[in-house]
Structure 1
C-alpha cells in the first residue's frame, strides 16, 4: 500500500555565522525518512530543539528542504513551484503550538474560519458562513461565537478554533505541532479526545509532534524518536513505549515521573548543553550514551530492524542482537 505521506532522506540545514565571519552548518533535520499510511497517527517525540517543529514546517512547505524528497500520495511536493503546489495545499494543513499567537487578533471567528475558503474561491459568502457554523459545531463551539474575537476565548477554545480553521479545506492530513502543550492538563485531555473523534469521523491522518511521551502513547499508533535532527527509533507506539531499544528512548522514558516509581540514578544530565551538541562524526548521541564504544565515534548508525516493524539506529543494539 502506498503511504499517504512519505519523507525520503529529508534535510534542513541552516548556516550560522560568528562575529568573526566564520560559517558553520546546523543540521536541524538530517536525513529523516518516514512513511505515514492513511488513517494512521504518527507521533514524533523528542526534546526541545531536536528538529520536530522544523520537520513539521518542511512537510507543509513553510520551510524549503535543503535535501531529500517529500511525497504526498506518490506526488513529490518537496520542490514543486508554488503554482503547482497550490492545488495540493488544501490536502495537508498544520495546527500550531500556541493558540494565542496563531490566530489574528484583528479578525473575528467568522473571518478566521472563512479566510482559507476565500483564498480557494470555491464557495459563495452564504456557503462559507454555513460551513463556518458547521465547523464550529464540529469542534464543540456554536454560531454564537462567530462575531467574537480571539481574546474573548480561553486557550482550549482558541485551539478548537485553530482546528476548525484547518478543517475548512477538507484536508486529508493534519500536522499537529505540539497542539496541547500550551494548555492546562484538563483542557489537554478535551482537545486530544476531540482530535480522536474528528479522526474517526472524517478519516483524517495525523502527524502528531510532542515532547510528551504520555500524549504520544495516548493518541498515536506509530511513533518516531528524534534527536538532533535524526530519527533514532521508530515503530509501533506501544512497542516503543513498553520496550524501548535505543538508549536515548530509554532515557526519555526513565525521565517521566510516576507514582511509586523510584527516580532514575546515574542518568546523563539532560540539561547539559555540552552533551547535546552536534558532533562532526559518529553517533550524535554518543556524548550522552553510557553504552558508547569506539565505533560510535566513527560512523553514524543507520536505522536497522530490531524486531517486527521496529527499527533503531544504534551500533550496540545491532551488536547485541
Structure 2
C-alpha cells in the first residue's frame, strides 16, 4: 500500500470577470500520483500550472472538486474537522516565503510550539524541549527561542519554518518552493539540510519547484505538470536526461548549463 495516493483529482474554481460573466478555471485536471514511504517525489512546472493547488488539497486547505486523496488507503478528500487535525499531524507543509509564513509578533519559541499546542500534543515542558531540539537540528541555537523573526536572515527563517513543520513528528513534508525566495548562495545549504533531515528522520517528501535541476538534486522521481495535468513522470535522472514531452524539453532548455553539463544547485552561486 502506498503512503499517499492521488486518484484522478480535479479542482475547479468558479470566478466572475469584471463584466460579471461566470468563468470556470480548471486548476487541476485528472491528476493521479503515488508517494511511497521514504520517497522524495518532485513536482515541477511553471507558475500557475497547479502545483501549489495540489499541495493545498493534500494538506486539506481546500477540497477537490472530484477524485480521491488516500492516506494509508483511507480517503481524506472531504475529512471532517476532527479528522483534519489528525491528517495535519502526519502531513505538514513548508511554504515558499519565510518572511510571510512566520508571525512577526510571536517569538520563535512560541511559533515552533504553536502546532503542538493547537493539536494538544505533549506537555508544555516537552514542547519547549522539542522546540529547542529542532532548532539545533536545523542548525540554529537554542537562544533563538526568545527572539523574533525579523532578527533572522531569509535562510535562517526558512530553517525555522522547517523546524516548525517537524514539531508534530509528521511522516510527509510538503515543500512548496522552499528555496526560491532565498539568495542563491543560501539555497544549497537549505537543500542539503532537507536531504540530511530526510535520512535522519525517515521523512517522505513532496517537493514542489519550477527548477528541474533542484528537483533532480533532492527527488527520486519527478512529475512534470502543465496546465493542471501530469504530462510526464519518471525517475528524476531520466526526466532530465531523456525528456519525452515537449513541455519538459522547454523547461530543460531554461536550465543553466556549462557546455552540455547541468549546473548543480551548489555550483550556481559560484557563477554569480
CA distance in 2, matches of 1:124, 1:24: 49
Q: Quote the residue 1:314 is aligned against.
A: none
Three-state SS of the structure 2 residue aligned to 1:100 is: helix
Which consecutive unaligned segments of at least 5 residues does structure 2 have? 261-272
Q: Report Cα offsets for 1:258-312 as digits up to 9, x if no partner.
A: 2336xxxxxxxxxxxxxxxxxxxxxxxxxxxxxxxxxxxxxxxxxxxxxxxxxxx
Q: Quote the residue 1:153 is aligned against.
A: 152
CA distance in 2, matches of 1:196, 1:209: 15
Larger Rg belongs to: 1
CA distance in 2, matches of 1:81, 1:122: 19
TM-score after normalising by structure 1 = 0.79
CA distance in 2, matches of 1:90, 1:84: 10
Q: Quote the residue 1:67 is aligned against.
A: 66
Q: Quote the residue 1:32 is aligned against.
A: 31
Q: Quote the residue 1:162 is aligned against.
A: 161
TM-score after normalising by structure 2 = 0.93
Please tell me whether the aligned partners of residues 60 and 84 of structure 2 are also in contact (alpha carbons under 8 angstroms).
no
Q: Quote the residue 1:195 is aligned against.
A: 194
CA distance in 1, matches of 2:195, 2:114: 25
Query: Could you list the runs of 4 or more consecutive aligned residues of structure 1 that deviate by over 3 angstroms after TM superposition?
Result: none
Tell me the CA shift for residue 162 of structure 1: 0.3
Three-state SS of the structure 1 residue aligned to 2:257 is: coil
Q: Is 1:174 the counterpart of 2:173 in the alignment?
A: yes
1:207-246 alignment runs, 5 A limit: 207-246=206-245
CA root-mean-square deviation: 1.0
Tell me the CA shift for residue 122 of structure 1: 2.9
Q: Quote the residue 2:112 is aligned against.
A: 113
1:250-269 alignment runs, 5 A limit: 250-260=249-259
Structure whose residues are more often helix by fraction: 2
CA distance in 2, matches of 1:85, 1:121: 14
Q: How many residues align?
A: 260
Q: Is 1:127 the counterpart of 2:126 in the alignment?
A: yes
Q: Quote the residue 1:87 is aligned against.
A: 86
Q: Quote the residue 2:135 is aligned against.
A: 136
CA distance in 1, matches of 2:99, 2:66: 33
Greater RCO (Cα-Cα under 8 Å, separation 6 or more): 2
CA distance in 1, matches of 2:76, 2:235: 26
Which consecutive unaligned segments of at least 5 residues does structure 1 have? 262-321
Three-state SS of the structure 2 residue aligned to 1:79 is: coil
CA distance in 1, matches of 2:154, 2:30: 35
Q: Quote the residue 2:20 is aligned against.
A: 21
Tell me the CA shift for residue 181 of structure 1: 0.1
Three-state SS of the structure 2 residue aligned to 1:11 is: strand
Tell me the CA shift for residue 67 of structure 1: 0.9
Tell me the CA shift for residue 80 of structure 1: 1.3
Q: Report Cα offsets for 1:86-126 as digits up to 9, x if no partner.
A: 22220000000000000000000100000011112232221
